[in-house]
Amino acid sequence: MAVAGTTTDAAVVVFLITVLSISVSAAAAAGTTTFGCYESIVSFGDSLTDTGNILSVAVHKAMPPTGKPPFGRTFFNRPTGRYCDGRLVIDFIAQSLGLPLLKPYFSDGGNEEERRRSLATGVNFAVAGATVLDSEFYDKIGYHNPVTNNSLTIQLDWFRSFLTRLPDGRKYVERSLVVVGEIGVNDYNYLLQQGTTLDQLQTLVPQVVSSIGSTIQELIKHGVATMLVPGHPPIGCWPIYLTLHNSGTDKYDPRTGCLDWLNDFSKYHNSLLLEELEKIRDLHPQINIIYADYYNAAMRMYLSPDKFGFGSRVLRGCCGGGGPYNYNTSAGCGDEGVESCDNPGSYASWDGVHYTEAGNRVIAQGILEGPYTNPRIATICPDESELSLQPRGHYTLFMVIIFSLAANLCIQNVCVKFHHRRKSL
C-alpha cells in the first residue's frame, strides 16, 4: 500500500510539473511576458479607449450610436459602448496581463461597495469625444465639441474621487498599469472639421502636449509608478479625412494612399509628446514611463495591407454610408439604413474614424509583442520583491497553488523517491 501511495503521489508531482511547464511555455509562446505584472489597469482617453462611459447620461450630449447594433457584433455580440465591432487596444492589453476587460467608471448596477469591488482589477475613465483641453477653452475661441464636454482634466477629477473611496488608493495605483491615452486627436479633429487651417492647428499642439504632461505629473503625485502613454495614430489614413479632403494627388503618399500632410501632423504631435515624456523622465527617474508608438504600429497595416488580410479595403470603412472610402458625413454607422460589411475582420477601419477589432489587434500586437514601445513594455514590471507575496490575478494564484502542492509532496520525500525510481528504470 505504501508503494502504491508513493507511486500515486509521484504521478501527481509529474502531472503538476507538466502543467507548470506547459503553462509557462504557453505564456512565453503567446508573448505574454507581462502576464501577472500588474494587479489592475487605470485608463484615460477618448473613443479609441472608451469601453462604455459614453453611454452614461452623465457624459454625453446625445445618445451615441454605440448603444445599438451593429456596434459590438464581432466579439461581444451586443453593443457595449465601444466605437468598434469588438475589442479595443485597451482590451487586448488587459487580456495580455491576465486581467478582466476594463469596466467603465460609470458602470451600471450595484451599490457603491459592489461597484468598488467590480473595479478592483481596473477602471476606465476614457470617454468618447473627450479632448485634452477643457471645453471652456474651445468655447472661447469659437469652437465646440458636439459629443461631450468631457476632457482629460475631468477624467483626472474622477480618478481622484475614485481613489478616495478605496481603502488604500496609493497602493492600488502603485500596482496598476496606468494608460494615459490615446487622447488629443479630438482636440484637432473638431477644429479641422470646423474650418481650422493646418497652420492654426499646429500652434495648438504645444498646449495640448503640455496639458498631457501636467496630467502625468499629477498622476505621479498620487503614487502612479508605471504609465503607458500612446502617441497618435496616422489620421491621414482614416476614411473620414480621405473623404473630407479628397483632392490633388500630390497630397497622398503613393505607397499607402494616405494623406501626407495629416500624417505629418500626427508625427509632429508625437515628436512633441516624446520630448515632454523625456523631460518628465528626467524629473522622475524612478517612474516607468513607456511611450506607445501607435503611429508606426498602425502604419504597418497601410504599408502591407495584404499581410494583415485587409487588401484593397484597408482605406475603406466596414460600416458606412457609401462613397470611395465608405464614409458619409450624413449617414454614419448606426444610422438607419446604414449597413456594415459581412466580414469586419477584413477591414482596418470600422466606421471611418475608429478601427475594427482586427485593426486594434494589429496595433496591440505591435505594442505588446513588437518594437513599438519605448522602453519595451515586456521589460517593465513592478518591484518583484514587493509583489511576490501578493497573488497577481487568477493566473498567478493558479501557479502559486501548483508550486505549493508540488513542494508539499516533495517535502514528504516523494520527489526524492520518484527520482530514484526513475533512475532505476
pLDDT band, very low/low/confident/very high, at 327 (cuts 50, 70, 90): very high
User: Are 328 and 317 contacting, i.e. CB atoms less than 8 angstroms apart?
Assistant: no
pLDDT band, very low/low/confident/very high, at 390 (cuts 50, 70, 90): very low
Residue 69 corresponds to which cell in the numbers above? 447594433
Please compute the mean of the pLDDT values over residues 239-261 and round it to a whole number. Answer: 89
Query: Which residue is catalytic, options 43, 47, 135, 211?
Result: 47
Measuring CA to CA, which residue among 159, 43, 194, 23 is closest to residue 98? 23
**E strand intervals along 88-134:** 122-124
pLDDT of residue 265: 97
Full set of structural domains in the chain with CATH? 1-35+406-425 (no CATH), 37-391 (3.40.50.1110)
pLDDT band, very low/low/confident/very high, at 119 (cuts 50, 70, 90): confident
Query: Which residue is catalytic, options 50, 91, 187, 351?
Result: 351
Active site residue 419: no
- pLDDT higher at 356 or 419: 356
Q: What is the C-alpha separation between 232 and 46, in angstroms, rounded? A: 12
Cell numbers 505607397 correspond to what residue?
255
The reported pTM is 0.82
Each residue of 279-314: b (16+ CB within 10 Å) or e? ebeeeeeebbbbbbbbbbbbbbbbeebeebbbeebb
pLDDT band, very low/low/confident/very high, at 418 (cuts 50, 70, 90): very low
Q: Which helix (H) or strand (E) holds 42?
A: strand 40-44
Q: What is the C-alpha separation between 174 and 238, in angstroms, rounded? A: 36
Amino acid (1-letter code) at residue 74: T
Is the model's pLDDT at 424 over the cut of 70? no
Please compute the mean of the pLDDT values over residues 248-256 and round it to a whole number. Answer: 85
Query: Which residue is catalytic, options 60, 232, 269, 354?
Result: 354
Active site residue 47: yes
Backbone angles phi, psi at 93, to 5 degrees: -65, -45
pLDDT of residue 58: 85
What digits encode the pLDDT tens for the residues 192-228? 989 888 899 999 999 999 999 999 999 999 999 999 9
Cell numbers 504632461 correspond to what residue?
213
Cell numbers 479609441 correspond to what residue?
48
Please compute the mean of the pLDDT values over residues 60-78 and round it to a whole number. Answer: 93
Q: What is the CA radius of gyration of the chain?
A: 24
Beta pairing partners, 166: none
**E strand intervals along 167-324:** 176-180, 226-230, 288-292
**Residue 38 CB-half CA count within 13 A:** 33
Q: Which residues contact 242 (CB under 8 A, 6 or more apart)?
A: 236, 257, 258, 259, 315, 324, 325, 327
